Amino acid sequence: MKKTFGVFFPLYTTTLLMLLGSGLLTTYISLRLSAIHVSGAMIGAIIAANYIGLVIGGKVGHFLIARVGHIRAYVSCSGIITAAVIGHGLTDIIPVWVVLRLIIGLCMMCQYMVLESWLNDQSDSSQRGVVFGFYMAASYLGMALGQVVLMLQTDLGMSTLLVIALCFALCLVPIALTTRTKVGHMSPAPMELKFFIGAIPKVLAITLVIGMIVGSFYGMAPLYSSQQGLSTQQTGLFMALAIFAGLVAQFPLSWLSDRYNRNLLMRINAILLAIAALPLAIFSHISFPLLLVVGFVVSLMQFTLYPLIVALANDMIEPERRVSLSACLLMAFGVGACIGPLAVGALIEPLGGNILYAFFALCGAAIVALSRSSAVEEQTQMAQDAPVPHIAMPDSLSSSPLSPALNPNLDEQMIQDQMPAPETAEQDEPEAEIIEAEIEPERRSQGADPDADTGLQRAFILLEDSDFPPSDTPEADKKTVPPNAAQGR
């Protein structure tokens, strides 16, 4: 473990500095806009623009990395982000801020893709879980430290923006000095959204609701704290503890998820989230120590939902589709993360800051309803080798479409099969024609009548040669159930 940490230390340091700047920027923008009395709807639009950029960046990042390479892509994106951060201090025109946040989100997704594909390429399958664990810890720690910086840097002027720009500039240094630069090419996972909408519609709906919760929290929780009359330091402490709860929750969650019904665990967590959010939704003012405790519990529950739904979805889908599944889950999460801040921002102006936690309670109730109705589907659609071991995952969009490749439960050959190079499909077509040409003469040599139903004849032959019991026996009437489906996990 020490060797793994030492080998990838430059990339972990880069991740920590990058997320430190990103976490500080998100909270700073909410507090700054609240201080100059910008409407909640416009604040929600600015936060949503960041998540829209993250979703779009998945496609742009792949093109950029393939064209100029990993280090050049990362350096160029970091330079653009640094300029965009400083641009927030040069103008107070809100539509310009929306564009700047979209650009920052797009470039940050490119950076995530560089880091994750780099980590994946340079790690063995036997150590990929540890590598990804350190990466997740660095992500959470960076976001939490960003809130601590806000406690020390109380000024909401240009000096805070310079600190953020400094973080994005310094994150270039470790990745530029690393000697592990031979990173192989990897194509993005294929999207099978239509298939998953038909196969697991309620899982995608739950993922979208979870995205609404997490996106609203990161964007609107600082606005809620400012309406509670908290100072900048108190807001920083509140956000730091809440984000730190996400890291703390992953370890007991992994243990519970591998031993108990995941659908039931998610339902319990959603119920606890709704109950814990009610005090902050009902009482207009609450003491600061109690606010920290309740906020920590709410975050503890909400940050466990995305890893659980990812593990549950992987239980319900066959292994060869799991790479594509992860990409679709990220898309559903990103769409929800865009909708959440817009909805809460539109409601927070007439109804007050408490609507944020009322929104969390409603989303928790929606997850409970969706998870209850999907229990039967979980039994019938369970994959043959499910349940898979639980893997802790980031519960925000601080993860690129390449993150499935970091999952140690996915075989490397399966990942490469699911993410083919563009020229592979063109090469497979002639091979299929050659195989068909070889099979066709053999069919004709057997004297098969083209008008005869040879498919039925072969089926009868297979049934006669097999060891299956006759159709009139009780055993044949029994339904075949996957061996692990009865576990309901």
Q: Measured between alpha carbons, how far is 23 from 147 in angstroms, rounded to an integer?
A: 7
Residues 6+ apart with CB under 8 A from 299: 217, 241, 242, 243, 245, 246
Q: Measured between alpha carbons, how far is 295 from 228 in angstroms, rounded to an integer?
A: 13
Positive or negative CA dihedral for 225, 17, 171, 175? negative
* Planar angle of CA 21, 115, 54, nearest 5 degrees: 60
Give 320's Cβ-side CA count (13 Å radius): 2
At CB < 8 A and 24+ separation, what contacts does 151-154 make?
151/232, 151/233, 151/236, 151/237, 151/240, 154/231, 154/232, 154/233
Q: Angle 201-227/322-351 helices, nearest 10 degrees? A: 40
DSSP codes joined into one string, 201-257: HHHHHHHHHHHHHHHHHHHHHHHHHHHTT--HHHHHHHHHHHHHHHHHHHHHHHHHH
| Listed residue (361, 356, 336) closest to 346, CA to CA | 356
Each of the 489 residues of the chain gets a pLDDT tens digit; together they read 566 666 678 888 898 999 999 988 988 888 888 888 888 888 888 888 988 888 888 778 878 887 888 888 889 999 999 999 999 988 888 889 999 999 999 999 888 888 877 777 776 666 666 777 778 788 888 888 888 888 887 777 788 899 999 999 999 888 888 766 555 555 555 667 788 888 888 888 999 999 999 989 988 888 888 888 888 888 889 988 988 888 887 777 777 777 778 888 889 999 999 999 999 998 878 888 999 999 999 988 888 888 888 878 877 777 777 667 777 888 888 888 889 999 998 888 888 888 999 999 999 999 999 887 544 454 544 444 445 555 555 566 666 655 554 444 455 555 555 554 444 444 444 554 554 455 445 444 444 444 444 444 554 454 455 454 444 444 444 443 444 434 443
| Listed residue (257, 253, 209, 487) closest to 370, CA to CA | 209
- Tokens describing residue 456: 């039925």
Q: Cβ–Cβ contacts within 10 Å for residue 236, how many?
A: 25
Q: Decide: 123 and 181 in contact? Cβ < 8 Å.
A: no
Residue 392: its pLDDT value, please? Answer: 56
Residue 189: its pLDDT value, please? Answer: 56
> Under DSSP, is residue 174 helix (H, G, I), strand (E, B) or coil?
helix
Residue 245: its pLDDT value, please? Answer: 87
- Tokens describing residue 442: 């053999």
Q: Measured between alpha carbons, how far is 22 from 15 in angstroms, rounded to an integer?
A: 10
Q: Measured between alpha carbons, how far is 30 from 101 in angstroms, rounded to an integer?
A: 12
Q: Domain-by-domain residue ranges, the chain?
A: 2-179+190-418
Residue 146: its pLDDT value, please? Answer: 87
Q: Measured between alpha carbons, how far is 485 from 489 in angstroms, rounded to an integer?
A: 8
| Listed residue (104, 103, 128, 108) closest to 118, CA to CA | 128
Residues 6+ apart with CB under 8 A from 411: 125, 319
Give 76's Cβ-side CA count (13 Å radius): 14
Q: Which CATH class is domain 2-179+190-418?
A: mainly alpha
Residue 182: its pLDDT value, please? Answer: 59
Q: Read off the pTM.
A: 0.72
